[in-house]
Structure 1
Amino acid sequence: MTIDDHRFMSIGQVQDQIKTGSVTGAEKKNTQQNLPVGENSFASILNKVRENADNNISTGELKFSKHAANRLNDREIVLTKDQMDRLNQGTIEASQKGIKDSLILVDQLAFIVNVPNHTVVTAMDQTETKNSIFTNIDGAVIV
């Protein structure tokens, strides 16, 4: 294996040299040439992810986990537009109250929603909610 006579340094060493100005022109070029800038920078991508998460909460776009989708399908539960709107609204209200994992009751249906991820984790109808115990939730919303 040939290593073209390059000197390897830790990220911390490179940062220290850049801060103190002790990096030569060639070294500075090598340390900075692979760093993305503009819309491909880490900060830019992180901001886009944060904006998308905020938009999902504000627009009420819910995702259903595979388990929740299977439960709805197995029990032939079809949500009306009104029920879906109320489920979205319940998720927004839970988020505003700082709830992380919420039980949201819509008519005769119960949903466990991971609020930060805006994801319905599971769904139950009235036949399953009788005598049920809901655990690992930190809030409930009835809409």
Structure 2
Amino acid sequence: MNHISQTKYSTIEQMTGQLLNKRTVQTGQADTNNSFQRILENQYAIQNNALKFSKHANERLQSRNIDLSEEQLNKLSAGTRKAQEKGISESLVMVDNIAFIVNVKNSTVITALDEGEDKIFTNIDGAVIM
């Protein structure tokens, strides 16, 4: 019975290896390198208190014609640090009538809203008004 299971079924390690090899052939590079690079960049930014903007947030800033000054960026970074100190995970940070939803753990701005829109915020566990 043990001999049958070894010949008919692959181990988890074998299947994982096959899947990774298949992805490498299809994309031309291993997904693990891309993921590792992303994780490394995120950790570097967190350690240096650098605030990142998600692709979605960048699109919203551009489509809503929101240009942030250096002072506003500093306030947003300070608000994110205050939220982190209080143990907030997902925060609303208000800076000069602009609302930002920030993933505090990753120091990443998720989206931005200005005065002209309805403001309903869900899935946040804290707010910082600067």
The answer to whether TM tops 0.5 is yes
The reply on whether 1:106 has 2:68 as its aligned counterpart is no
Please give the residue correspondences for 1:1-143 in structure 2 after superposition, counting only pairs within 5 Å.
53=43, 56-57=45-46, 59-128=48-117, 131-143=118-130
Give the letter aligned to residue 138 of structure 1.
D
**What SS class does the counterpart of residue 127 from structure 1 fall into?**
coil
Aligned-pair Cα RMSD in Å: 2.5
Give the letter aligned to residue 109 of structure 1.
I
Q: Distance in 2 between matches of 1:113 and 1:77?
A: 16
Q: Give the C-alpha shift of residue 94 in structure 1.
A: 0.4
Q: Distance in 2 between matches of 1:63 and 1:56?
A: 8
Give the letter aligned to residue 104 of structure 1.
V
Quickly say closer, same or farther: Cα 1:95–1:101, change in 2 above 3 A. same
Give the number of aligned pairs: 96
Q: Give the C-alpha shift of residue 123 in structure 1.
A: 0.4
Q: Distance in 2 between matches of 1:88 and 1:70?
A: 19
Q: Give the C-alpha shift of residue 57 in structure 1.
A: 4.2
Give the letter aligned to residue 118 of structure 1.
S
Query: Which of the two has higher C-alpha Rg?
Result: 1
Residue segments in structure 2 that go unaligned for 5+ positions in a row: 1-35
Quickly say closer, same or farther: Cα 1:58–1:93, change in 2 above 3 A. farther
